[in-house]
Structure 1
Amino acid sequence: MDTTNLITFLAIVDTGSFSEAGEKLFLTQPAVSKRIASLEEQLGTPVFDRVSRQVILNEAGKALLPRARQMLELVHDTKLEIINLSGEVKGPLSIATSHHIGLRRLPNILKTFTNTFPEVKLDIRFVDSEASYEMLIRGEIELGIITLSPEIQPNIQSKKLWHDPLNFMTAKDHPLTKLKSVTTEQLSQYQAVLPSRNTFTFQVVKNLFDQEGLKLQTAMSTNYLETLRMLAAIGLAWTILPLTMQDDDLRILNVKLKGIQTSPSRQLGYILHPKRTLSNAAKAFIKQLERHKDSC
């Protein structure tokens, strides 16, 4: 079975349309349609139903989906094992990372890595940490350097690299800065700017408020921590940020949390798929990450 046809099939499944699959694969829509027609001819049956401009997997497509992923994984792992025999560190390396980690943690690591291994072609995807898990499961990336999920994720191997303390912060002239210590109840009386609800960081804050039966007043949300920092610095609201982002225009609030002795925090690190063969490039990148463990 032609692997390019399977790749196109999965792209349509993941994007939900022929045209978006074409954009993802740098193909015209007629080329995408031709590949699917070839696949359906090989199988002797259609794999999609076209209903009101929607592309929906039919029963044959649903049966093919897990097998298509398995076949492409097998082909990918076989190629990697053969390439790895040479011991050379070269070829493509796809990684996903959040904007915050990419800006604050990775520059020196990436610079050293690219200087040491110039034949590696890096493909860096800047996405939300939560999305990295799905991308890894789908085989779109080899590594994710992200905020780790507080819950164990099936079929994912994770390794902590950095402890990332979080602090409640606001502008220097915000009313909360006049208080020697701030309770969660006092925080609830003012607006907050926070990452979106599906993020690990938002869940950290929400859990603190839920424990006391308090409601969060969120003025707006964005997953770009630099934007949250700016919004808090101009006095719009309070926020929670990594300690590394505090500067003269932001004041750290002395928040007293019931039943908690330490400030909330996140764990940053990398994730990989334990059942997939890693390229030599990925192995070398992990070594580079480990050298910077808890040093950034």
Structure 2
Amino acid sequence: MNKSQIELIVRISETGSFTKAGEALHMTQPAVSRTVATIESELGTKLIKRDKKNGISFTDVGERILITFRTILSELQKVDELIVAEQGLEIGKVHIGAYRTACTRFIPKIIRAMESQYPGIEIKLSEGSVDQVKEWLRSRCIDVGIIIPPDKDFDTLPLIKDQLIVLMHSSHPLSQKETISIPDLQGEDILIGKCGYEVQIHALFNEYNLTPKVRF
């Protein structure tokens, strides 16, 4: 098995399509099908399931092999980077995963700084929920992700520390308090946006054996 074959399998997983993967790698759809069949024959197992209704999906062993394939491509990329670094150049690819708020708040500055310091680095960005970003990290789909703690599954570096605040009408009784604790919010109707912090909010309530009353 060679690098181009491994790249094809990974690209199929990224695009969810034989045709799109072939277009990205300048291969016809029949050539893609033949190559996949050859790879599966060499490995002696089925990697990809094709269904007219549900499209393309990977088998259980195919999902595990995908992680290894992504690791192989990453290591091969490091070889290329070492070679050009020896020549005094900086090249490479960095795939970043982030949730929506991080994409708008942090990513533009990060990309601007990276492109200024390392113009030879190619940056790819994927946006998803916090849980999706964590899953992408586990499956090696991305190189680095921006997530919200706590999470002990990954090596993390703090990016920023945010203060959680409660917004309410000025006539609300709690608005007169200087500090609002989690138990103060028990029974209050709460609106939580799907921006990534909902998991942290639920975790805070769990510390007091409470459940937030999420109205919306």
TM-score when normalising by structure 2:
0.71
**Alpha-carbon distance change, 135 to 49 in structure 1, aligned in 2, over 3 angstroms:** closer
Secondary structure, in 3 states, of the residue corresponding to 2:166? strand
Matched, 1:88 2:89: yes
Aligned to 1:242: none
Give the 3-state SS of the residue equivalent to 2:162 in structure 1.
strand
Residue deviations 1:192-232, cap 9 Å, x none?
222459x5x32332233234343322233xxxxxxxxxxxx
Give the superposition deviation at 1:32: 3.6
Q: In the alignment, what sits opposite 1:7?
A: 7
Q: Which amino acid in the other structure matches residue 152 of structure 2?
A: I
CA contact (8 A) 1:148 1:158 kept: no
Match of 1:203 among 199, 204, 214: 199
Which of the pair has the greater relative contact order for Cα pairs under 8 Å at 6+ separation? 1
Maintained 8 Å contact 1:40/1:47: yes
In 1, Cα distance between equivalents of 2:90 and 2:109:
19
Q: How does 1:27-66 map to 2 (within 5 A)?
A: 30-43=30-43, 46-48=46-48, 55=57, 57=59, 61=62, 64-65=65-66
Look up the match of 1:159.
157
How many residues are paired up?
210
Q: Percent identity?
A: 20
Deviation at 1:139, TM superposition (A): 3.4
Instruction: Name the structure where strand makes up a greater proportion of residues.
Output: 1
RMSD: 3.7
Q: 1:18-33 alignment to 2 at 5 Å?
A: 19=17, 22-23=19-20, 26=23, 30-33=30-33
TM-score (norm 1): 0.55
Equivalents in 2 of 1:13, 1:115: separation in Å?
32
Contact 2:84 2:90 in 1 (8 A): no
SS of alignment partner, residue 160 of structure 1: coil
Aligned partner of 1:121 in structure 2 is 122
Please say if residues 12 and 21 of structure 2, whose CA atoms lie closer than 8 Å, have aligned partners that are also in contact: no
For 2:188, the equivalent position in structure 1 comes to 190
- Structure 1 residues 205 and 107: CA distance shift in structure 2, 3 A: same
What secondary structure sits across from 1:169 in the alignment?
A: coil
Tell me the distance in 1 between the aligned counterparts of 2:135 and 2:214.
Answer: 27
Q: Which ranges in structure 1 are unaligned for 5 or more consecutive residues?
A: 221-296
Q: Distance in 2 between matches of 1:118 and 1:80?
A: 14
Unaligned runs of at least 5 residues, structure 2: none
Q: Secondary structure at the match of 1:163?
A: coil
Amino acid paired to 1:132: V
The Cα shift of 1:36 comes to: 0.6
For the residues of structure 1 that align with 2:34 and 2:45, how far apart are their CA atoms? 15
The residue number in structure 1 matching 2:172 is 175
CA distance in 2, matches of 1:12, 1:161: 33
Q: Does the residue aligned with 1:168 lie in a helix, a strand or coil?
A: coil
